[in-house]
Amino acid sequence: MACQWANALGATVIGTVSTKAKAVQAKEDGCHHVIIYREENFVDRVMEITSGKGVDVVYESIGKDTFEGSMECLKVRGHMVVFGMASGEHEPLRFRKVAEKGIYYTAPSIMLYTKERHELLAASEELFSNIEKGILRVRVNHKYPLSQTAQAHSDMESQKTTGFIVLLPDA
């Protein structure tokens, strides 16, 4: 969904994925450039795409396996937005590494942005309005009965899933 939203805002979207199947989905969701980070050096590829300039923003959800490379991809005064750590927690953030480029680092949580009722309503309105307009498409690729919640989490953590996961009441 983030790719769809960024694309709708006019951003050039470079996506990194772990498999060919995820690459197809990323293209469908609006990525202009898709890099399978297990098959090629994504830092080199990003620098090639950006003519050596790097990117303004990295949305990092993988963690340990890609964090350092993601930092290298940033422009001076770029923004690092960490919202997940599928491969585990990255190494501690070092001041020198951040200071070299004047990087802005944040680790937002949806709960902090929807803490007050009016914030939740505004965010929900924006999301559902964009879904209704067709700007965003919800892709549910995996459904699990509630009794298999642990399996759903395990599959998500091991990067076996794409799109949204839905938990359904047991029959």
Report angle CA 17, 35, 57 to the nearest 5 degrees: 85
Domains by residue range for the chain, with CATH: 1-107 (3.40.50.720)
Provide Rg for the chain, Cα atoms.
17
pLDDT > 90 fraction of the chain, expressed in percent and rounded = 59
- As a residue count, the chain comes to 171
The phi-psi region of residue 6 (left if phi > 0; otherwise alpha if psi is between -120 and 50; otherwise beta) is: alpha
- pLDDT exceeds cutoff 80 at 86: no
Indicate the average pLDDT of the chain. 91
Q: For residue range 89-132, what is the model confidence (pLDDT) as tens digits? A: 888 888 888 899 999 999 988 899 999 999 999 999 999 999 99
* Residue 12, SS3 per DSSP: coil
Q: Which of 132, 135, 71 is nearest to 105 (CA)?
A: 71
